[in-house]
A = this chain, B = another copy of it.
Amino acid sequence: MSIKFFLDEKDIPRQWYNLAADLPTPLQPPLGPNGKPVTPDMLAPVFPMNLIEQEVCQDRWVDIPEEILDILYRWRPSPLYRAKALEEALGTPARIYYKNEGVSPPGSHKPNTAVPQAWYNKKFGIKRLTTETGAGQWGSALSFACALLGLECKVFMVRISFDQKPFRRLMMETWGGNCIPSPSPETNAGRAILEKMPDTPGSLGIAISEAIEAAVTDPTGQTRYSLGSVLNHVMLHQTIIGLEAKKQLKKAGENLPDVVIGCAGGGSNFAGLAFPFVADKIAGANITIIPVEPQSCPTLTRAPFSYDHGDTAKMTPLLPMYSLGHAFVPPPIHAGGLRYHGMAPLVSQAVNEGLLTPLALGQIECYEAAMLWARTEGFISAPETSHAIAATIREAKKAKEEGKEKVILMNWSGHGLMDLTGYHAFLEGKLHDYPLPDAELAKSMSVMNGLPKPSTAKTGKW
């Protein structure tokens, strides 16, 4: 019996799917400092116009340019696996399938959007991209994409990660990326922080400020900023994962899955797998779709649907999203990619509509799941991915209790070979969970009190 389902290159999806076209309640616009919707022109110094057009696009299907496919073919279509060994270990009647996004050169789903973003920038005449990175997954994916397309890439990496994760930085440098610790003396934002706090470990908020400043202040006008999650066009690019999975499930003899699962930080790998199935759910299919977040950063499970800034420094427009408050500092869990206070507006809107069933898990349960995965399926998972695995195991056990032959589809978003310290802590018994007290959350969310509120109207029941 097969455990791995390929697609030939000729069968790769040639269009991305845009959930914005099908959402029962339309997506609400980002708001500028004046409280009014942001216009494309206002974003022009930050992003190239062709990507801004994609950001506001309402078309259901968007063609993938051939030149982008030519690069994606290096790891796409990614294989769909049947997790037969895990099923047997659990004794579940469920059939568990997962997309292996760890086969990309940087080892995660991130290049699915890094390549299109670099390509559209290049087409628009841009020579240089700036971005920020925390743990380094996104910075290495963008460095990779820029290397293949001949763009310069500057990555502001949160200083503490820069110091603690030298191998991530070396990945970026191997691909020609210029990775510098943030705060840096290269920007006004960085200099101001360094003057006040010369020994600061840095933060994603500061790094975003520096990356945007470095882009918009380039006097040649040939630099733009790039973001690895949250935005609509990022979700769009990632839907190739779910579109491939649909074709591969058919090859495996399955129809639609009963359960779809992905971990969710900013939302992109989750959206990538799930959105094509959200379309089926809107059309009437009975599918449980689960974004999994950390118990210590419970955006979708304990925060309100609100308008909030995407960054700590309030440089971004207000986005309609579930948010713990833009000043929230998540506890130091190992899944750095899930330590984000907000959530992609498209994912948020789908949650508000009741289309998704969010779940929050503690990291100890997630590492237990990742250990079982490593010793059955064989792959070592990224700490972020372990959240999806833990939720999958919960669902597989539920299917066993119910005696149901459910089909579960999961996104294995990346390997953990660059992030083994969490496994070490787990094996040594030194891993902690960080449940958040209500009072702490309330305080964090209070920064949104004066901000505008999006409509929370719901149109459907799923």
Q: A3-B74, A6-B6 are in contact. Are A376 and B173 (CB under 8 A)?
A: no
Residues of B within 8 A of A71 (CB): 378
Fill in one digit per residue for A48-85: 1 if any B CB lies within 8 Å of its CB, else 0. 00000000000000000000001101100000010001
A73, B9: Cα distance in complex, Å:
20
The answer to whether A144 and B378 touch across the interface, beta carbons within 8 angstroms, is yes
Q: Taking the nearest CB of chain B, how far is it from the CB of A303, in angstroms? A: 33
Q: Among the listed B74, B105, B170, which residue makes an inter-chain contact with A423, where contact means beta carbons less than 8 Å apart?
A: B170
Given contacts A73-B4, A417-B107, contact A374 B427 (CB under 8 A): no
Per-residue interface assignment for chain A, residues 151 to 179, with 1 indicating a CB less than 8 Å from any chain B CB and 0 otherwise: 00000000000000001001101111000
Contact indicator A174/B6 (Cβ below 8 Å): no
A250 in the interface (beta carbon within 8 A): no
- Encode contact with B along A1-32: 1 for CB under 8 Å, 0 otherwise: 01110101110000000000000000000000
Q: Which chain B residues border A421 with CB–CB below 8 Å?
A: 170
Chain B residues within an 8 Å CB radius of A176: 375
Q: A148–B144 Cα gap in the complex (Å)? A: 33
Q: Does A193 contact B (CB under 8 A)?
A: no
Q: Given A3-B73, A174-B423, is A374 in contact with B147 using a C-beta cutoff of 8 Å?
A: yes
Residue A424 interfacial (CB < 8 Å): yes
Interface residues on A, range: 35 or more
Q: Which A residues from 114 to 159 make CB contacts under 8 A with B?
A: 144, 147-148
In the complex, whether A377 has a CB less than 8 A from a CB of chain B is yes
| CB neighbours of A371 from chain B (8 A) | 174
Residues of B within 8 A of A167 (CB): 167, 417, 420
**Whole-angstrom CA separation of A6 from B78 in the bound complex:** 11
State the CA gap A4–B371 with chains docked (Å).
31
A103 in contact with B103 (CB, 8 Å): yes
Whether, in the assembled complex, A192 has its beta carbon less than 8 Å from a beta carbon of chain B, the answer is: no
Partner of A173, one of B4, B73, B147, B427: B427
The docked-state distance in angstroms from the alpha carbon of A6 to that of B376 is 24
Q: List 7 A-B contacts (CB under 8 A).
A: A4-B74, A74-B81, A74-B379, A170-B424, A171-B380, A174-B427, A417-B417
Q: Top 10 A-B pairs ranked by shortest CB distance?
A: A170-B420, A105-B378, A147-B375, A6-B6, A174-B423, A105-B379, A2-B9, A167-B420, A3-B73, A74-B378
